[in-house]
Structure 1
Amino acid sequence: MIELAETQKATDFSALQARYDGLSGSDLLRPMIELEFHRKIALVSSFGTEAAVLLALAAEIDPGIPVIFLDTGKLFGETLRYRDTLIKKLGLTDVRTVEPDPVELKAADPEGLLWQSRPDACCHVRKTIPLERALKGFDAWITGRKRFQASTRAALSGVELDVDGKVKVNPLASWPRDRIEAEFEKRGLPRHPLEADGFLSIGCMPCTDRVAPGQDPRSGRWAGLNKTECGIHMSAASRNSSPI
């Protein structure tokens, strides 16, 4: 019965993918929010340097869409203030700030220095576990990932199926950097206050650095380490194998 259910899930996803192949932006977002996953889809946002564009597109369709924001306890204060600015400007009414479980966090990172020795484990307890909890009850989630951000995202598709059965929607996957910039200008969207200082991809403060000219936007994340993702965009199997 489990194999049959998995086969049906894959078949349903293939049909979904075929229906929306080649669409992006609002053309992809609207049917996902209003039709395919009505009241069963959330948008996950870091409120980083490019986040305002996706949030603006989603707010135009449904300002009440659940927006999940992971507050790891180690974010820049500028990011928290930027979140509040965008909520007010875009009229978002259901932004859910999600934090790590304090008991789990104390057990895994009692001194708050886990990022220094085991960054994957730090991301796991501060981001991936809280996100998995926050996404319970949803069948799909929306991300702001784009192909131009890093070589690891170069083949990103508009719609993905995770091994946990949830659908991930990437409305801006195919958008080039200049289109993102054009949307900022067109909509008069505020920029993240750290962007002007060379921070082009912003995560937790200890693991985020400025980006050198000509490098990909995510090169400032975990600089010097063999790490390019926090884990929330890995498969569920890979996420769950990360030690705490």
Structure 2
Amino acid sequence: MNEQVLSLRLKKVGEKVPQGARLADIGSDHAYLPTFLTINGKISYAVAGEVVKGPYESAKKQVAKNLLSEKIIVRLANGLAAIHDEDQVDAITIAGMGGTLIRQILENGIKQGQLKKNETLILQPNIGERTLREWLMLNGYGIVDEEILEENDKIYEIIVAKPVGNVHYTEQELLFGPFLLQEKNETFIKKWQREVKSKERVLGDLMKAHVVPRSKVAEVKEQLSWIQEVLV
């Protein structure tokens, strides 16, 4: 993967970025995504945020190599602190992290005033999709698009959200994704077939415990029931 050829996962994230956006890519990984999108005329401006010095330096070199230092600003900062008011960012990508970490980044962004709640969010959690969807719902973001894909035997979900005010999702929609639940494509089925086996193992371990945590057992059984219903 490089600035000319993205991984399938990042390519799909890039496809969700609005045309002409002013983008903040948080945890930018060599700035591959904003560089690719700028070269291909998809975005007009970008901030590439990195919290670790090594990746920050790599991103700066990547941008300079492609003569894009005036269009892509690389900043060493924690989360959305990479965004300044003058950037006028209207889209944010956060990819390749756990859902809990992405949720924390967004929460801190609201508290610190970097998240204005007028941006399109394009999020690609590696795990913990449910907790991320819950945060979006609680903070007035509606999910407007989702995609599930497989690459190198790993399954990824992409969630696109926009501020809409009051929004409500059922527990099943939070777990599976409202759009993914409607589509139920082959990759979705494959993911949840794997999850059945995983949760059955968890349930077996819980039942062997000296003190059986009844609430946790009930939670796992309920989710297993939902998954089995979806897979029918």
TM-score of Structure 1 vs Structure 2, range by shorter chain: 0.3 to 0.5
Q: Which has the higher contact order (CA 8 A, sep 6+)?
A: 1
Q: So what's the TM-score if we normalise by structure 2?
A: 0.34
Q: TM-score, normalised by structure 1?
A: 0.32
Tell me which protein shows more strand as a share of its residues. 2
| Larger-gyration structure (1/2) | 2
